[in-house]
Amino acid sequence: VSEVKRVHGPATRRQATAAAVPGLDGHGRGWTRVQPPLSVYIHFPWCIRKCPYCDFNSHALGTGSGPDEAAYVAALRAELESMLPQVWGRRVETVFMGGGTPSLFSGEAIAQVLSDLRARLPMAPGCEVTLEANPGTFEAARFAAFRAAGVTRLSLGVQSFDDARLHALGRVHDGAQARAAARCALQTFDAVNLDLMIGLPGQDSAGLDRDLDEALALAPPHLSVYQLTLEPNTVFHKYPPVLPDEDTLEDISGRALQRLAQAGYGQYEVSAHARPGQACRHNLNYWTFGDYLGLGAGAHGKITGPDGIVRTANHRQPEAYMQAAREGRAACETRVVGEGEAGFEFMLNALRLREGFSPELFEAHTGFPFALLEPGLARAGSRGLIERHGPVWRPTALGWRFLNDLQSEFLPPNPA
């Protein structure tokens, strides 16, 4: 996704898998940039119908019609082929198939996508391979086929178990489908994440408790909890639903955090809660400013090479993407991340992490000196938003609560 909104292991392991690229910095000095771990994100841009709150690159198919799987899988293969020179010799640590609704695709199509990837890039032993699924497209045989194809982790968009809340969200599934899909996911995969949304129209603390009772009774290894936001260019932005008032929202989110912690889930990132050892390695790679190939309609990528950090963004419309990918030009935007932006982009990610970050991580994964961050750290520190624990910088509780404020301390200076 997904992912920007919403990536592991200790620093020593990350560094052990990294390769060094010699180069020159902007001042003509020789330096060695470390290539961070490499992930692959693959976007599947279709859903049965568009949810009124959703600003992801997802396009409604309607019931009864499916995506043109063969054409899309061929386009992904063509794009991968065109991107290979950017990642020669590198190993894939994690894969994430997000959407949209990847679970609209058949087990055979997902198996083909993964075998196309394995045939062209080395995969790390124990590579984490996540697929996002919607309970409305749930079939037990399909989950089994995803597992046989090599998916190791299923992320299920439950949102709520309450029919009224699901209806208000315009979801295609109901509570019974959410329960059935979650049980089947837990029987089929060792690693499972359930997405829950809070602050829903008509939700109060008692309603949140009912959702958490059900989610915790299932005992998934990982839970992601997102507060509903009204995003520009969505139906909810134009016709806002009545949301819980500020006090109720505070109650709901405070209570959710407290109950998850009591149930043994560590909040390792703003929205992510996991049992020990069950954090999502793919998302951790984003948040520690790792590299990723972004394949598929509207996908974004970040690859560190001899010219520095290169970001790519693909054509968003599925047809335009497929045509462009076949012609070897899936990306419609490519830019090198300059010194001014690197600090801010790193902090947009790293400040989401409970464990914070070290100067070594910043220098290794951006190729820029830590001194770039020092003015912002001093300002944020004086406001009580960030603090240092030995070599590690961590947001304070206040900083996490006002994360946008904290992140904005690292905005690049306006060009003169």
Ligand X SMILES: C[S@@+](CC[C@H](N)C(=O)[O-])C[C@H]1O[C@@H](n2cnc3c(N)ncnc32)[C@H](O)[C@@H]1O
Binding site for ligand X (CB under 6 A): 1-2, 6, 53-54, 56, 99, 101, 132, 134, 157, 159, 195, 197, 226, 228-229, 231
The site string for ligand SF4 over 128-147 (x = CB under 6 A, - otherwise) reads ------x-------------
Rounded to a whole number of angstroms, the minimum distance from the CB of residue 238 to ligand SF4 is 16
Please report, as a single letter, which amino acid is at residue 329.
R
211 binding partner (options ligand X, ligand SF4, none; Cβ < 5 to 8 Å by kind):
none
Among residues 58 and 407, whose Cβ is nearest to ligand SF4? Answer: 58
Rounded to a whole number of angstroms, the minimum distance from the CB of residue 359 to ligand SF4 is 37
The site string for ligand SF4 over 60-99 (x = CB under 6 A, - otherwise) reads ---------------------------------------x
Can residue 235 be called a binding residue for ligand SF4 (CB under 6 A)? no
Among residues 185 and 372, whose Cβ is nearest to ligand SF4? Answer: 185
| Contacts (CB under 6 A) with ligand SF4, residues 274-333 | none
The CA–CA distances, whole Å, from 381 to 27, 362, 399, 412 equal 30, 18, 9, 18
Q: Which of 38, 42, 51, 337 binds ligand SF4 (CB under 6 A)?
A: 51
| Contacts (CB under 6 A) with ligand SF4, residues 11-50 | 47, 50
Query: What DSSP state is assigned to residue 369?
Result: -
Query: What is the rounded CA–CA span in Å between residue 275 and residue 280?
Result: 11
Among residues 61 and 215, whose Cβ is nearest to ligand SF4? Answer: 61
Q: Which residues contact 143 (CB under 8 A, 6 or more apart)?
A: 133, 154, 184, 185, 188, 189
DSSP E strands in 272-319: the ranges are 272-274, 291-295, 300-305, 308-314
Q: Return the number of other C-beta atoms located less than 10 Å from residue 415's C-beta.
A: 5
Among residues 184 and 197, whose Cβ is nearest to ligand X? Answer: 197
Q: What is the dihedral of CA 332, 366, 339, 232, to 10 degrees?
A: 50
Q: Which residues contact 156 (CB under 8 A, 6 or more apart)?
A: 132, 133, 134, 135, 178, 181, 182, 185, 192, 193, 194, 195
42 binding partner (options ligand X, ligand SF4, none; Cβ < 5 to 8 Å by kind):
none
> Do 69 and 130 touch, CB atoms closer than 8 A?
no
Q: Closest Cα partner for 1 from 90, 89, 70, 96?
A: 96
Among residues 58 and 188, whose Cβ is nearest to ligand SF4? Answer: 58
50 binding partner (options ligand SF4, ligand X, none; Cβ < 5 to 8 Å by kind):
ligand SF4
Q: Closest Cα partner for 188 from 161, 224, 222, 148?
A: 148
Can residue 237 be called a binding residue for ligand SF4 (CB under 6 A)? no
Rounded to a whole number of angstroms, the minimum distance from the CB of residue 235 to ligand SF4 is 11
